[in-house]
Amino acid sequence: MLDTVLEFAIQGVVLGGLYGLFAVGLSLIFGVLDVINVAHGEFFALGGYLAVGAIALLHLPAGAGVAGAALGAFLLGLAVYPVLIAPLKRRLGRRPAGPLYLVLTLGLSTFLQSSLLAVAGGDYLQVQSYVRGILDLGVTAVSYQRLLVLATALVLLLGLFAFLRFHRLGLAVRAVAQNPDAAQAVGIDLPRIFALTLGLGAALAGVGGALMAPLFNVYPAVGFPLTIKAFAITILGGMGNLAGALLASFVISLAEAFSVMVIPSQWQNLIAFVVMIVVLLLRPQGLLGRARTR
């Protein structure tokens, strides 16, 4: 019994790290730009492909593959603001955007996903684990690859939180999230911050995709279900609330892991969406969010 519980707990925590990488970036983008990035999962898929390409095709070391994935996703994310969002913003002026950003990033998602399909084909790709071996915990065991996923996720997120708290640019990002007009008034270059935020969020997703490549398969649509689930997580955490998104990542991942003890495993993906709908009805501001009018 204990070993089963422990095993599910480990599974849940590792998955929570992955969800955290993904959902914190999504929540950051929403908090700063007020844009829900439907294409977030495609950055995850891109990261997976870049890692597979670097490691399997170019025979680079795994670390270089992950770094390449981060860089590639960062650069593509950087381009999203000037190429797509800024022109729409300019045309709209002060008029409400309504759902237009959602539809715009949905188009980006379709475009990126099918471009990956065109370039890499629809095959399920896999790479060998970046680190071999298994850590024996006595009652149960966990592979070093899974520990690597968790450790990298936590280090990166810690780095992100530190960046936002202490670095000049990070402070600027937070200032824009709080009040774009005031931020601009004190001389913050808004387009630069917007582009940087999208780049950072995309890079986190890209690293997630690269880290998961040995555990899951990589295919063009691999990220999209994760995007939908991350919506549920960010809503549970309170949209735009980063600590909330991280907490909610672990709540959902642990609930999914332990649900297997109660319900058949093929239903575990349902949990996030049921939670999302219940949260929106009972506590729309999320776990850590304060009620606000947005």
Q: Which residues here bind another protein, judged by CB under 8 A? A: 36, 84, 87-88, 91-92, 95, 98-100, 102-104, 106-115, 117-118, 224-225, 228, 231-232, 235, 239, 264, 266-267, 269-270, 273-274, 276-277, 280-281, 284
Nearer to another protein, 37 or 253 (CB): 37
* Smallest distance, another protein to C-beta of residue 118, A: 4
* Token code pair at residue 255: 């609930």
Q: Report the distance separating Cα 104 and Cα 81, nearest Å.
A: 12
Nearest distance from residue 46's CB to another protein, in Å? 14
Measured from the CB atom, the residue of 6 and 117 that comes closer to another protein is: 117
Beta carbons within 10 angstroms of residue 111's beta carbon: 12
Q: Distance of CA 186 to CAs 42, 90, 172, 173, 289, Å?
A: 35, 21, 10, 13, 27
User: Least distance in Å: CB of 66 to another protein?
Assistant: 27
Residue 98 or 138: the one with the smaller Cβ distance to another protein is 98
Kindly tell me which of 61 and 284 has the beta carbon lying closer to another protein: 284
155 C-beta neighbours (distance < 10 Å), count: 10
What single DSSP character describes residue 15? H
Residue 73 CB, nearest distance to another protein (Å)? 18
Q: Cα-atom radius of gyration of the chain, to the nearest Å?
A: 19
**Comparison of 59 and 294: residue with beta carbon closer to another protein:** 294
Do 209 and 47 meet the contact criterion of CB atoms below 8 Å apart?
A: yes
Who contacts 96 (Cβ-Cβ below 8 Å, separation ≥6)?
none
Q: How far is the CB of 65 from another protein (least distance, A)?
A: 25
Are 204 and 24 contacting, i.e. CB atoms less than 8 angstroms apart?
yes
**Shortest Cβ 149–another protein spacing (Å):** 24
**In residues, how long is the chain?**
294
At 192, is the secondary structure helix, strand, or coil? helix
**Phi, psi dihedral angles at 255 (to 5 degrees):** -60, -40
Nearer to another protein, 49 or 130 (CB): 49
